[in-house]
Every structure is written in C-alpha cells, then in structure tokens.
Homo-oligomer: A and B are copies of this chain.
Amino acid sequence: MTEAPTPAAIALITLGVADIARATAFYEALGFIRSISQSNEQVTFLKAGGVVLALFGSADLAHDANLSDEPRGPFGGITIARNLPSKTAVDTAFRQALAAGASALKPPQDAFWGGYSGYVADPDGHPLELAWNPFFPLREDGGIDLPA
C-alpha cells in the first residue's frame, strides 16, 4: 500500500517571540482562537484560517532550526497577511491591532496592485499586513482562494 502524496502546503507559521503570554494576548485580541488542548507555557497554537499560527520563544525557535538567535532588525524577510472583506474592514482591523498593542508601520491606503493595505508591527516587531484584495475571493474561514 502506498501513501497518497500530500499536496505541497504550508501548514504552520511560527513567530519567534520574547514573551509568549504577551504575544498570545495580542493575537487573541485580534480574534484568533487559541487551542486550549495544544497550548502550554512554552508554545501557543492559534487557528488562523487554513493555517495554524504558533507562538514560540525566539531563542527556542532559532535553536530548533539550528540557527543562532542573533540580534535582528525589524525586517526579517517574511511578512504575514490577514485579508479582509472591504476597505472599511481593513481600517477597523488596523485600529483594533493598534488598540491591542501593535505599532503602526503604514496606515491603510490604496495599493499599486489595485487593493487597499496597511501594515502593523506586532509586539515583537513582526510585520502583519491587513489587506483588502478584490482579486482573491475570501473564504468563510478567513483564508483566500487563489485563482488558477
């Protein structure tokens, strides 16, 4: 019996954080749902649409990947995005994120690609985009369906 091949996918995103409780409170305030059974003092797992968002100590995450947790700047080379159903919803989510402890990086504005987008930095500085994209249908779970 052969296993059916698993489609190539990203199942989990892990953010390295300085304070797991603080980071957890931030993402819960944004409306992400924490898994009670899988989370503990060392790691938090949150439902994030079609993917799982994990919060883990930054040094522990670097060590897990066999990398050094050297001092790093505000841009780590990766961004994550939450998509929303309208410009108004982006504005609301931006204010919600600031109220929950994020810093503003870029106020929501019309984007060159035809959508509307802003950026905040979460309490650990990870850039989070808040976007309305009229070309990518939004699913009920908050993910997007990528046209072929």
Contact = CB atoms under 8 A, between A and B. Distances in A.
Interface of A: 3, 5-16, 27, 30-33, 35-38, 45-53, 58, 61-62, 64-70, 72-86, 89, 105-106, 117, 119, 124-127, 129, 131, 135-136, 138, 140-144, 146-148
B75 A65 contact: yes
For the complex formed by this chain, how many copies does it contain in all? 2
Given A76-B77, A77-B124, A49 B49 contact: no
Which interface residue of A9, A135, A142 has the most chain B CB atoms within 10 A?
A: A9
A49 B10 contact: yes
Contact of A37 (B31, B73, B82, B147): B147
Nearest to A71: B73
A29 to B, nearest CB: 10
18 contacts: A3-B85, A6-B142, A7-B31, A9-B48, A9-B143, A11-B136, A11-B138, A12-B131, A13-B51, A35-B146, A46-B146, A50-B141, A51-B51, A52-B143, A68-B73, A68-B75, A72-B73, A76-B76
